[in-house]
Amino acid sequence: MAKIRDIRNNIDQIDDQLLKLINRRGELAIKIGQEKSRGNSSKHFHVPHREHSIIERITQNSNGPFPDESLKSVFREIFSATLALEKPLRIGFLGPETTFSHQAAMKQFGHSSKFIASPNIESIFRQVEKDECDYGVVPVENSIEGVINLTLDCFVDSPLLICDE
């Protein structure tokens, strides 16, 4: 039992170090948010390609026991919490909560984002176009209908772009 206690003490020390590093990351994110606000680039707080490059770097450099998907999930939540310190993202999704769209939104943007349920696909597009939401998560296909033509039609009629799938 003494050996287990020693190992757990080591884990506790690592947890304390992780906490300090996460808080330091948060402090730096706040500074970035302040700089972005000064530069009047408030619309571009979220930089998805930066997150993708970090995830790619992390998974390539990992030689430990954690699978890539686990690392991606952990870092997705770190990104979400960090971004919430700068400017919480508002994410529109086809509601209600617990739908596949809601689950996809949480997986993509992390739990620290603000999720806004919408009654239909068109309203998600309108919310993003009117800057009521920063991003919208819409279904492109499902197991019942296959391709959802309404979503594709909305993209044709809208200036919005697909940023991830």
CB proximity list for 88: less than 8 A, separation 6 or greater: 112, 113, 114
Domain 60-165 in CATH 3.40.190.10: yes
Please report, for the chain, the start and end positions of each structural domain, with discontinuous segments joined by +.
1-38, 60-165
Q: What is the spatial distance between Cα 21 and Cα 49, in angstroms, rounded to a whole number?
A: 23
Averaged pLDDT, 130-139: 93
Tens of pLDDT, residue by residue over 38-58, are: 876 555 668 888 999 999 999
pLDDT of residue 42: 52
Distances (CA, A) of 92 to 4, 17, 47, 49, 154: 46, 35, 18, 20, 15
Residue 117 and residue 106 in contact, taking contact as beta carbons nearer than 8 Å: no
Tens of pLDDT, residue by residue over 46-89, are: 888 899 999 999 999 999 999 999 999 999 999 999 988 888 88
Band of residue 95 on the pLDDT scale cut at 50, 70, 90: confident
CB proximity list for 28: less than 8 A, separation 6 or greater: none
Give me the chain's average pLDDT, please: 90
Residue 80 and residue 110 in contact, taking contact as beta carbons nearer than 8 Å: yes
Q: What is the spatial distance between Cα 101 and Cα 58, in angstroms, rounded to a whole number?
A: 27
pTM: 0.76
pLDDT of residue 135: 93
Averaged pLDDT, 88-117: 92
Tokens of 107: 């997986």
Band of residue 159 on the pLDDT scale cut at 50, 70, 90: confident
- The DSSP bridge partners found for residue 147 are 141
Averaged pLDDT, 23-51: 82
Band of residue 116 on the pLDDT scale cut at 50, 70, 90: very high
Q: What is the spatial distance between Cα 9 and Cα 3, in angstroms, rounded to a whole number?
A: 10
pLDDT of residue 153: 84
Q: What is the spatial distance between Cα 102 and Cα 116, in angstroms, rounded to a whole number?
A: 9
